[in-house]
A and B are shown apart, each in its own frame.
Chain A
């Protein structure tokens, strides 16, 4: 198996207090592909995802060891530049979380902080990214309205656009469709399939069918340990581990 890896995790251990959430995790995330992390609830999927942009730092009593190399730089270093690491990765959370401001300002928030001040440039960025997620036609005339007035499905696309507006290289999705209706979920999934040409995408999900639809590469986590990882076809058709086979059949969940 050979691919260009974008994120490489080496011997990652994460604990919350005394509870160990990840045990000796070694994974490689391929560049410009969709990697799906699957596994039962509470097995450390979200923890692994949030290690990538160091959001695990916010949790109480968290401690970690090991290495996560993004473009060859270890982001777990104590003096790592967190804002630069996080800017590289757009995050889609489980529930769409618009910021308490207008639709326009939601998208412009990131670029403004990173130095784009001119109204014309911001207008362009907002329009471009709203079109990129297929939301432009729906909100074109009401950019000044509160983002919270959009439907949940629209909000999630807005969140995607907001993440893309800071020009990340990686998109992280933490069960990004779990709060959405089937049609909105489908739209988000379609976006991922288009976006993977430009971005490395990592998605956490517990929906196996979604994983089958999206994944190029799969990581199966079980109680904090990586049981199996590999190209989607191999994991879904010919898993080498008994646990993976049982999970695929729905014996364990």
Chain B
């Protein structure tokens, strides 16, 4: 057999292997969560906050963390979207392709992306001390916004880079400003990719424990308020896994299941809502 066919064969094998590794990891993680989490799942887990002795195996649920995580990650996603949008429009509509400043901004965002979330937590905490805030929903929102901003803006940036330049030219030739072209043409064309970017950022934000451990704190109350500590699902999982009681540890898996399902549900719903706009994209 000749060498080129062998190469082809070898690399196809590698591709199949990688696909299997990724797919199996996903299946195994999901199976693990389902098998350990489903038995511990109950209506109370979803509808009640922790009662006294919850972490010792007594009654209650993680509604406090479900509400807290959704509000915290949701707000952080909105804030970082509002920060990312001007950044990526500036990079892709206002700057020229070979702009040195553009590469500098992208490099900075890449570096920020690589910073561990615990550092964002610590940085958020320093900011909070400076402003005299204590562990609170607001503190958590600030830290998570900082954490997901580089992720969202770089992901959006990559999508906007793919928008054909001709669309901009056409819009300009009709006498529009750069802002109008950016908002009405570029964003529409890139909408599915932008959504993916937002969802990736949301998933990262709602799943992160290290950035909220100092900044948001934890609370057993179900109601949330900006200036009081708030519970989050990753920390709820962390605390439950940390107990020596198997039934509480299994509830950690039930909580993971809730977190996973929450992300899946939000992805599916957003995709359904925006399906109509997908068909308008120019290929």
The answer to whether the Cβ of B96 comes within 8 Å of any Cβ in the partner chain is yes
Q: Which residues of B contact A53 (CB under 8 A)?
A: 172-173
Of A37-45, A94-102, A215-223, A245-253, the one touching chain B: A94-102
Q: How far, in angstroms, from A109 to B189 measured CA to CA in the complex?
A: 14
Q: Write the chain B residue with the least CB distance to A88.
A: B175
Is B180 a contact of A113 with CB atoms below 8 Å? yes
Given contacts A58-B169, A60-B98, A95-B166, contact A110 B175 (CB under 8 A): yes
Contacts of B177 in A (CB 8 A): 83
- Smallest CB gap from B174: residue in A: A110
Q: Mark B195-239, 1 if CB is under 8 A from A, else 0.
A: 000000000000000000000000000000000000000000000
- Check if B246 is an interface residue, CB within 8 A of chain A: no
Interface presence of A4 (CB below 8 A): no
Q: Are A100 and B280 in contact (CB under 8 A)?
A: yes
Give the shortest distance, in Å, between B119 (CB) and chain A (any CB): 37
Contacts of A166 in B (CB 8 A): 174-175
Residue of B nearest to A146 (CB): B280
* A93 nearest CB neighbor, chain B only: B166
- In whole angstroms, what is the CA distance A110 to B181 when docked? 11
B96 contacts A55, C-beta separation under 8 Å: no
Give A147 to B189 CA distance when docked, in angstroms. Answer: 13
Q: Is the CB of A86 within 8 A of B282?
A: no
Q: A99 touching B167 by the CB < 8 A rule? A: yes
1/0 per residue, CB under 8 A from A, across B105-134: the answer is: 000000000000000000000000000000
Is A153's beta carbon under 8 Å from chain B? no
Cβ contacts B271-283/A at 8 Å (1 or 0 each): 0000000011111
Q: Are B283 and A99 in contact (CB under 8 A)?
A: no
A-chain residues with CB within 8 Å of residue B283 when the two chains form the complex: 148
Whether the Cβ atoms of B279 and A91 lie closer than 8 Å is no
Query: How distant is the Cα of A6 from the Cα of B138 in the complex, in angstroms?
Result: 61
Q: Does B21 belong to the interface (CB within 8 Å)?
A: no
A237 within 8 A of B: no
Asked whether, in the complex, the Cβ of A91 is within 8 Å of the Cβ of B188, the reply is: no
Dominant SS at the A interface?
mixed
Instruction: Name the B residues within 8 Å of A98 (CB-CB).
Output: 282
A1 CB–B CB distance under 8 Å: no
- With contacts A58-B165, A60-B98 known, is A100 near B282, CB below 8 A? yes
The CA-CA distance from A86 to B180 in the complex, in Å, is 14
Cβ of B82 to closest chain A Cβ, rounded Å: 23
B171 within 8 A of A: yes
Q: Is the CB of A99 within 8 A of B279?
A: no
Q: Decide yes or no whether A163 CB sits under 8 A from chain B.
A: yes
Contact A89 B188 (CB under 8 A): no
CB-nearest residue of chain B to A100: B189
A147 to chain B, nearest CB (A): 8
A sample of 22 cross-chain residue pairs with beta-carbon separation below 8 angstroms, ordered by A number, consists of A55-B169, A58-B96, A59-B96, A60-B97, A82-B172, A83-B175, A86-B174, A86-B175, A97-B282, A98-B282, A99-B167, A99-B282, A100-B167, A100-B281, A102-B280, A113-B176, A146-B280, A148-B281, A162-B170, A162-B174, A166-B175, A172-B173
Q: What are the 10 A-B residue pairs with the smallest beta carbon separation, nearest first?
A: A87-B175, A91-B173, A110-B174, A100-B189, A146-B280, A97-B166, A60-B98, A83-B175, A86-B175, A100-B188
Given A109-B171, A113-B174, A146-B279, list of 8 further CB < 8 A pairs? A93-B166, A99-B167, A99-B188, A100-B280, A146-B281, A147-B280, A148-B280, A148-B283
What is B's interface to A at a CB cutoff of 8 Å? 96-98, 164-177, 180, 184-185, 188-189, 279-283
Q: Which residues of A are at the interface with B, using a C-beta cutoff of 8 A? A: 53, 55, 58-61, 82-84, 86-91, 93, 95, 97-102, 109-110, 113-114, 146-148, 159, 162-163, 166, 172
